[in-house]
Structures are given as C-alpha cells and as structure tokens.
Amino acid sequence: MTRFHFTGQRSGARGAGLAAALALAAALAGCGLADTAMQRETAHQLQELVLGVSQAAAANDHTAALKTLDSLEADVATAAGSGQVSEERRRSIMTSITAVRADLNAAVDAAAAAAKAAEAVAAAAEAEKTKADAEAAAQAAQENTAPVVPVPVPAPAPAPEQAKGAEGKGKNKNG
C-alpha cells in the first residue's frame, strides 16, 4: 500500500485516511459464494466495519475511525479463529488494517500539529494586539496630558519707599 505524506492540511489528512480505508475495503472486496477464503456473511460484516472506517475518515473523525478499525481487527481475529476467514486472507486484511491505522495515526498527528500551530499563531496575534493596544493607550495618554509648564515665581515686591523729608516740612504736623 502506498504511504501518504501529510502536510498538516485537513483535506489531505482526510483524503489519505479515506484512501487507506478504501484500500482496506478492496482487500475485502470480491468475497462471494465462490470464495472459500472467507464466508459471505463474515465478508459482509467486515465490509460494514470498513465502511464505518471510511465514513469516519471522510468526516475527519479520526477517533471514531480508529475505534471502528479496532472493532474490525477484533472481528477479523475472531473470524479467523472460528475458521470463517482463511489464514492467508487474515494476513492480507491485517496488513491493510496496519496500513490504515498508520495513515489514521499520521492524520491525527498532522491534525494535532496543525491545531498547535493555529494556537501559536492565535497567541502571537493576541500578544501583538495587546502590545499594539498598550502602545496606543500610552500614545493617547501622552497626547491627552497637558504639558507641565513651570509656574513663574513672582518677583519680590519692592520695599515701600519712604517719603523724603515729608515729615519735617510742616505739612501734616500736629502740633
């Protein structure tokens, strides 16, 4: 099975998981009455689980896809143990399950990395906004503050002048 490489894009991860699940379905396809490697009822049951994996992967619900894949793996083991699936067919299906699980885990990792990167970008944007808001507030405060102008100290009042000789000239004399 071809390995898919993810770049953290949601659609790429979804497409790879879906493609892997479809490859698993191909491993189960063609199981009819003439096929002695797997009984028809068992094939139908397993194909239903593969459909569940495909639908969950297409919906980008990796947790559900992985849970359904776990159920598929358990059912294949049970069917093989009871002789409903040949050993050769079991190995083929298990190889496909392993590949699908790897692809889904890679999609989970890519989604987690993308979410972490988005959080980092959001945090950086919020920090930048906070910094810009603080700078704008400081600028506004500076513009709205009246400049400090020193109040001039008044000059000392001149000393009262004494009248020159007005006392001894006879005016305003008592007596």
Place of tokens 């950086």: 124
By residue range, what is the domain housing residue 81? Answer: 10-111
pLDDT at residue 27 is higher than 70: no
65 within 8 A of 56, measured Cβ to Cβ: yes
d(CA 67, CA 85): 22
14 belongs to a structural domain: yes
pLDDT digits (tens, 9 = 90+) for 58-82: 888 999 999 999 999 999 999 999 9
Q: What total of structural domains would you count in the chain?
A: 1
3-state secondary structure the chain: CCCCCCCCCHHHHHHHHHHHHHHHHHHHCCCCCCCCCECHHHHHHHHHHHHHHHHHHHCCCHHHHHHHHHHHHHHHHHHHHCCCECHHHHHHHHHHHHHHHHHHHHHHHHHHHHHHHHHHHHHHHHHHHHHHHHHHHHHHHHHHCCCCCCCCCCCCCCCCCCCCCCCCCCCCCCC
Helix or strand run (H / E) with residue 160: none
136 within 8 A of 49, measured Cβ to Cβ: no
156 belongs to a structural domain: no
For residue 63, what is the domain's CATH number?
1.20.1440
pLDDT value for 91: 92
Of the candidates 7, 16, 9, 87, the one whose C-alpha atom is nearest the C-alpha of residue 57 is 16
What would the mean pLDDT of 9-27 be, rounded to a whole number?
Answer: 56
102 belongs to a structural domain: yes
Provide the token pair at 159.
């000393």
**How high does pLDDT run on average in the chain?**
77
What would the mean pLDDT of 127-140 be, rounded to a whole number?
Answer: 84
What would the mean pLDDT of 85-109 be, rounded to a whole number?
Answer: 91
51 belongs to a structural domain: yes
Place of tokens 């491993």: 27
4 belongs to a structural domain: no
pLDDT value for 132: 85
Q: What is the pTM of this model?
A: 0.55
d(CA 105, CA 17): 9
Pick from 28-42, 88-102, 142-156: least confident: 28-42
Provide the token pair at 110.
């890519």
21 belongs to a structural domain: yes
Q: Which residues pair with 38 in a beta bridge?
A: 85
pLDDT digits (tens, 9 = 90+) for 32-42: 444 456 788 88
Write the single-letter amino acid at 73: E
130 belongs to a structural domain: no
Q: Which residue has the higher pLDDT, 150 or 31?
A: 150
Q: Which residue has the higher pLDDT, 113 or 6?
A: 113
